[in-house]
Structure 1
Amino acid sequence: MPKLAKLKCWISKKISIERLLTIGTILVLFLIWFAVTELKLVSGILVPSPRKVFSSFVQILQEGYKDHSLLTHLTDSLMRLLSSFVLVILTAVPLGLLSGYNSKIRAIMYPLVEFYRPLPPLAYYTLLVLWMGIEDSSKIALLYLAGFAPVFIACESGVRKLKQDYIDGAYTLGADSRQIFYHVVFPSCLPDIFIGLRTAFGVSYTTLVAAEMVAAVTGIGWMVLDASKFLRSDIIFVGIIIMGLTGMLIDAMLRAIEQAVVPWKGKE
């Protein structure tokens, strides 16, 4: 058998094993959850049974939650999340790349980002509400700030670790600073940009509940928070599972875009 065919066979077998491990892990966790609730090792208020969670999901799917359908809750949350994500792409990517490329811009931007990055979102959310009101604008602003820092730092770091030989080679061939930025720096930093975007999306999603705490009546995060007031752990589980699955789906979409845009990643 040719070496190439052997390699393909080995890769296919490895992927199959990894897929089986993933499926097996999910099944084991589900069986543990089922056994713990069926044997009543913990209170049903704290950990609802899979049957109860599924029943609540069907009920919310049919009747909605607090006068709004499940689709409305999910759509409103995703609209807030994706609106902030688009703003992050439009601002954090160019500013991060420019900061890595230009020391003067980095001197202006880096202290600002480093100052607010460690702050808990709720620490400045009250200020955003005072400045922008209780509508979606303050929520989008909070999610935007949560996602800006990871993308900015990833882009800035990607530029700074770029090999100087690439830039010197481009200068030798007659390229100017603008051409080097667009044709050397930007393509070389694409893997780091996508890492930053995937990280930022996860950070923004974890901030979603905080964003929907104030004066919201829709949203998956709000639904989870509202259910916690009435000890409805079954609805909390429904919301968490929906957020987890939608987060995985969007991350898979980002990875698919990355594979299409950066086909050379990981290849020498």
Structure 2
Amino acid sequence: MAGEPPLLRVKNAVEQSVPDVVRSWLVRLIALVVFIAVWLLIAGLHLVDEKFLPSPNAVWDAAVRASTWHQVAPGVPREVLGEQNYFLWEHLVASLQRIFAGVGVAIVLGPIVGFAMGMSKTFNTVTEPYLNFLRALPPLGYIGLLIVWFGIGDTSKVWLLFLAAFPAIAISTVSGVQGVSRDQINAARALGANRLQVLTGVVVPASLPEAINGIRIAVGFAWTTVVAAELNNGIPGIGGLAYLAGQQLNTPLTIACIVVIGITALLLDALIKWIGVLLVPWKGKV
């Protein structure tokens, strides 16, 4: 319209010409650029001591150093690889292996227990208090006990990640089963479906979206627990490296590890969302 301000006309024109997905990514990119610019400004003006907030360049250099062969110290010809004798990607892969082992078992057992709790009131009554008790415990609350039981190797770490992921998956599955419409179940029974057919043809498809959402939450929570899991003997491991770098006041490397952990979390979440779309294309359509 002729009476619209120029900026508003430009905004409306952009919204009409740019698809929603592209516009969403542009907004995110602009926000990231602004964030880095503010970070550079704060670091450049030395508003915060570099021990607490190093510049983006220092963080990048730390990431490059952790990913390449480099001299032990300036002027010393001897070279070492990465950090703690592992490249940064090797630390990341080690943590992902622990995540896949612990969360993988939870993804198998969680839905089974959740479906059993949702279908049996007796089993639900017996199991629910213990499941909620386990869900309420912070990981650091029982990491010491797991180390006593299983030692400081990977077994205790895998158990910790399993216990972090299992409750969320089971509880979400229970919620999905209990949320199945009674009308759908009664309609299936009226058409002659037996108990197994009702379970596989109605209950499982209807509750699967909640189960997948629980897996998504569980993977995110387990990934945030990776630092706690790698507090002891966590090398190689991205969480263990972040913890060790913090102890050594190597703030650039600590932030580099945090960035890697965060980006990996986003990619894992996007992967699970994509798998969910493939497995439950009927979600939101019925």
TM-score under structure 2 length normalisation: 0.87
Show the counterpart of 1:84.
102
Report 1:137-216 matches (<5 A): 137-216=155-234
Q: Which structure: larger Rg? A: 2
The alignment partner of 2:234 has SS state of: coil
> Residue 160 and residue 75 in structure 1: after superposition, are their counterparts in 2 closer, same or farther (change >3 A)?
same
Report 1:215-234 matches (<5 A): 215-234=233-252
Show the counterpart of 2:25.
19
Structure 1: which 4+ aligned runs deviate by more than 2 Å?
9-17
Query: Shift of the alpha carbon at 1:108?
Result: 2.0
Show the counterpart of 1:100.
118
CA deviations over 1:168-198 (Å, ceiling 9, x no partner)? 1111111111121111111111211111111
Partner AA of 1:31 in structure 2: A
Partner AA of 1:85 in structure 2: V
- Contact conserved, 2:63 with 2:253, CA < 8 A, in 1? yes
Q: Distance in 1 between matches of 2:147 and 2:219?
A: 22
Show the counterpart of 1:6.
none
- Aligned pair count? 260
Q: Distance in 1 between matches of 2:172 and 2:237?
A: 30
> Residue 135 and residue 11 in structure 1: after superposition, are their counterparts in 2 closer, same or farther (change >3 A)?
farther
Query: RCO higher in 1 or 2 (8 Å CA, sep ≥ 6)?
Result: 1
Which residues of structure 2 form unaligned runs of 5+? 1-14, 69-80
- Contact conserved, 2:233 with 2:240, CA < 8 A, in 1? no
1:56 aligns with 2:62: yes
Q: Distance in 2 between matches of 1:74 and 1:13?
A: 35
Query: Shift of the alpha carbon at 1:104?
Result: 1.4
Which residues of structure 1 form unaligned runs of 5+? 1-8
Partner AA of 1:46 in structure 2: F
Show the counterpart of 1:248.
266
CA deviations over 1:8-56 (Å, ceiling 9, x no partner)? x979632232222111111111111111111111010101101001111
Query: Shift of the alpha carbon at 1:153?
Result: 0.9
Q: Distance in 1 between matches of 2:53 and 2:250?
A: 10
Report the identity percentage. 33
Show the counterpart of 1:130.
148
Show the counterpart of 1:4.
none
Q: Distance in 2 between matches of 1:11 and 1:169?
A: 47
The alignment partner of 1:218 has SS state of: coil
Partner AA of 1:41 in structure 2: L
Query: Shift of the alpha carbon at 1:215?
Result: 2.5
Partner AA of 2:184 in structure 1: Y
Q: Distance in 1 between matches of 2:102 and 2:200?
A: 25
Show the counterpart of 2:132.
114
TM-score under structure 1 length normalisation: 0.93
> Residue 219 and residue 179 in structure 1: after superposition, are their counterparts in 2 closer, same or farther (change >3 A)?
same
1:29 aligns with 2:69: no
